[in-house]
């Protein structure tokens, strides 16, 4: 069972409000995505901690409805 990109985006947007989030479907199958997230919530956090925050936001969908998710996370940079 695949998860639609819109649902994935909604889960991440709920956990990371006011963040820049982009979802790319890597294989066209709704099961392999790349999520690029720029969030102030990541400031001062290690990459591992950032990714743990993302996995927590997915509420157990990783490994089930969502097979593979490449993550590109970083604090938001401001001009």
CA dist 41 → 26, 52, 53, 59, 74 (Å): 26, 12, 9, 18, 9
Helix %, strand %, coil % of the chain (to 5): 30, 30, 40
pLDDT tens by residue, 11-68: 999 999 999 999 999 988 878 899 999 999 999 999 999 999 999 999 887 777 777 8
Quote the pLDDT of residue 42: 97
Helix (H) or strand (E) holding 28: none
CA 38 to chain centre: 10
| Domains in the chain, CATH or no CATH each | 5-74 (3.30.300.90)
pTM: 0.89
What is the structure's pLDDT at 30? 79
Q: What is the pLDDT of residue 13?
A: 97
């Amino acid at each position: 069972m695949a998860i639609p990109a819109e649902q994935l985006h909604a889960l991440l947007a709920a956990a990371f409000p006011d963040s820049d989030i982009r979802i790319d479907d890597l294989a066209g199958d709704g099961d392999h995505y790349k999520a690029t997230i720029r969030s102030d919530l990541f400031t001062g956090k290690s990459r591992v901690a950032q990714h743990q925050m993302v996995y927590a936001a997915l509420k157990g969908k990783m490994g089930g409805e969502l097979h593979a998710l490449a993550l590109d996370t970083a604090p938001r940079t401001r001009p």
